[in-house]
Structure 1
Amino acid sequence: MFASLFVLLYVAHLAADYPGQTDHQARHKAEPGAAGWRANLAHAATHVLLCALALAVAVLVLGLDLAAGPAALALVWIGATHAVIDRRWPVQRWMAWARQPGFAQHGGAAHVDQTAHVIALATAALLLATL
């Protein structure tokens, strides 16, 4: 069950992060203030919507037994973690703490960002598989 859920959530994540993200959201989601948060939360909402569709596929197509409460909790977790990670400061702080300035200067932040999202998705899938 974990593997199926993780793959479905990861595919939903890719769809939301790339074809589902507008240029405006990508440019402004980390900016301070209300405009930055609006872009950020609109992008996070896309993730929640597509992950909800992925969980519906898990139930309707794969026949997985998912309780509504844990599914809602997983979706809140996905939306919240995605919004925080995409503010960019967590990735920047991690890379500074891990002493990765060279990696950061050569595009490493995008890899650390995606790794953080994958960890959050794996946590959600693990939660769903165990509850």
Structure 2
Amino acid sequence: MFADIAFLLYLGHLIADYPLQTDHQAEHKTLPSAAGWRANLGHAATHVAVYGLLLALGAAVLGWRLPLLPALAALLWIGATHAFIDRRWPVAAWMRLARQESWATSGGAVHVDQTAHIAALVVAALCLSA
């Protein structure tokens, strides 16, 4: 069950982060303003909605019995971690701490960002499949 859940969550991540993220969200989600937070939380809400739909689909098609409260907790975890990571300063702070400033300025931040998102999804998948 873990592999099925993890795969659907990863697919949901790709769907919500690329085809469903608006230009406005991508450009404004890191701004330290109300508009930045609205863009950020709107993008995170898209993730939660997509993951919720895919988990419901997985339950219907694959016969999963996901308890409601753990499933809601997993969706909250995913939304909160996604919003936090997408503020970009956590990734920048990690890359400074790991002495990756050169890599950060040459495109590495995107890879660290995506790795952090997938790590959060794996935690959710582990909790849901336990």
> What is the TM-score when the length of structure 1 is the normalising length?
0.98
Counterpart in the other structure of 2:111: 111
Identity of aligned residues (%): 63
Residue 69 of structure 1: how far off its partner (Å): 0.6
User: How many residue pairs get matched?
Assistant: 130
Residue 102 of structure 1: how far off its partner (Å): 1.3
2:119 corresponds to 1:122: no
Residue 33 of structure 1: how far off its partner (Å): 1.3
Cα RMSD over matched residues? 0.5
**1:31 partner amino acid:** L
**1:81 partner amino acid:** T
Distance in 1 between residues matched to 2:54 and 2:126, nearest whole Å: 15
Counterpart in the other structure of 2:102: 102
Distance in 2 between residues matched to 1:105 and 1:93, nearest whole Å: 13
Q: Which runs of 5+ in 1 are unaligned?
A: none
**1:117 partner amino acid:** H
Q: Which runs of 5+ in 2 are unaligned?
A: none
**1:53 partner amino acid:** L
Residue 64 of structure 1: how far off its partner (Å): 1.0
Distance in 2 between residues matched to 1:7 and 1:57, nearest whole Å: 13
Q: After the TM superposition, which parts of structure 1 deviate over 2 Å for at least 4 consecutive aligned residues? A: none
Within 5 Å, which residues of 2 pair with 1:45-124? 45-124=45-124
**2:99 partner amino acid:** R
